[in-house]
């Protein structure tokens, strides 16, 4: 399980090396990735929800909907956002997905990975 999208430099908007690494590790079918820890990697005071879209899109494209899951990064997220703000970022992003994909991301894939 990769936490925090493998810690991209969201604040500096440096995607290049991180993108290559994400695609390389995503080739392993047993590796999953949590979409978590984004607000603490961004500008902790001036972040906007749209700052995270390209990072989430890249991870979803690399891993596919069956190997990604939500992670709140609670309580560390409080350094930059409330829990509700952290959750709202991904809920709003996933409104464009099907109900089945939404349920996989918000629980189904975690049950699969952790054998629950």
- Which of 6, 1, 9, 10 has the alpha carbon at shortest distance from 89? 10
Locus of tokens 């990697």 = 41
pLDDT one digit per residue (tens) for the chain, 116 residues? 999 999 999 999 989 899 999 999 999 999 999 999 999 999 999 999 999 999 999 999 999 999 999 998 999 999 999 999 999 999 999 999 999 999 999 999 999 999 99
Based on the structure, what is the number of domains in the chain?
Answer: 1
For 34-61, b/e burial (b = at least 16 CB within 10 A) is bbbbbbbbbeeeebeeebbeebbebbbe
Rounded distance, CA 50 to CA 90, Å?
10
Between helix 16-26 and helix 53-63 the angle, nearest 10°, is 30
* DSSP, res 12: T
What confidence score (pLDDT) does residue 14 get? 87
Q: What is the CATH number of the domain that holds 36?
A: 3.20.20.140
Domain that holds residue 40: 4-114
Cα angle vertex 109, ends 62, 90, to 5°?
A: 70
**pTM given for the model:** 0.93
């Amino acid at each position: 399980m990769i936490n925090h999208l493998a810690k991209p430099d969201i604040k500096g908007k440096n995607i290049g090396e991180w993108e290559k690494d994400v695609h390389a590790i995503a080739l392993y079918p047993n590796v999953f990735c949590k979409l978590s820890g984004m607000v603490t990697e961004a500008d902790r005071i001036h972040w906007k929800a749209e700052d995270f879209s390209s990072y989430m899109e890249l991870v979803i494209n690399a891993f596919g909907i069956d190997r990604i899951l939500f992670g709140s990064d609670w309580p560390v997220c409080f350094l930059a956002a409330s829990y509700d703000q952290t959750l709202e970022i991904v809920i709003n992003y996933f409104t464009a997905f099907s109900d089945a994909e939404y349920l996989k991301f918000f629980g189904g894939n975690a049950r699969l990975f952790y054998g629950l």
